[in-house]
């Protein structure tokens, strides 16, 4: 079946300069040249290393969610287990499994790609791959990961998938990755089924680079 598809396209960049470098992100100013009328304009780009997230579904059709303080928005929002692609050479699905262990204290035997997201393509190149994980196994308490900073106050709970979708539609949960993941999971469950989802190593055009080594965008 065919349907809408994002179109690869890159306009020429006449000049580029890094304006800020932080712990996780940097900001780059690109002077872009329009191939339509030849005009030039500046666009600021938040450069992001990329991330992964996990919709972990247990045998009771419940989804694992976490809560932790998020300083920029002043909330302790409901989220999926997720994290940056910040371990050099780590494949995306292994990064997702690591985050599921660290935040949820569980492992999963079955993995699929659920959705690929560009969080705000008008201002950042951040790309997130959301995985579906099943075959859940809870780890012994002795293996528990010790978080720090915001993760020291990490809360974990299991929520029925339908209740999570209802919370999305009611506006009670706002994390974009969670909203997309919950809606995609229910669509998959009620459609062709989880087994019809893409394999863990499915192509990821927006994120196909070794972790910790995101390539610079070329100019023209």
Query: What amino acid positions are annotated as catalytic residues?
Result: 151
Residue pointed to by tokens 């005009």: 39
Q: How far is CA 3 from the centre of its chain?
A: 23
Q: Which two tokens stand for residue 9?
A: 């396209």
Nearest-CA neighbor of 104 among 75, 62, 71? 62
Whole-angstrom CA distances from 107 to 96, 102, 129 are 10, 10, 18
């Amino acid at each position: 079946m065919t349907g809408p598809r994002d179109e690869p396209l890159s306009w020429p960049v006449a000049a580029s300069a890094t304006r800020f470098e932080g712990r996780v992100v940097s900001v780059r100013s690109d002077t872009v040249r329009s191939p339509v009328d030849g005009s030039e304009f500046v666009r600021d780009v938040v450069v992001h290393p990329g991330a992964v997230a996990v919709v972990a579904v247990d045998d009771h059709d419940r989804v694992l969610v976490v809560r932790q303080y998020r300083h920029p928005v002043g909330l302790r929002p409901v989220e999926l287990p997720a994290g940056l692609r910040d371990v050099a050479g780590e494949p995306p699905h292994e990064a997702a499994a690591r985050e599921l262990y660290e935040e949820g204290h569980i492992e999963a035997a079955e993995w699929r790609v659920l959705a690929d997201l560009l969080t705000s393509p008008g201002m950042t190149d951040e790309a997130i791959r959301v995985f579906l994980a099943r075959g859940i196994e809870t780890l012994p308490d002795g293996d528990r990961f010790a978080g720090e900073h915001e993760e020291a106050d990490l809360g974990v709970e299991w929520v029925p998938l339908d209740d999570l979708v209802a919370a999305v539609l009611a506006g009670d949960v706002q994390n974009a990755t969670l909203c997309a993941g919950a809606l995609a999971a229910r669509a998959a469950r009620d459609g062709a089924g989880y087994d019809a989802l893409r394999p863990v190593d499915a192509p990821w055009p927006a994120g196909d680079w070794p972790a910790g080594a995101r390539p610079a965008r070329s100019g023209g």
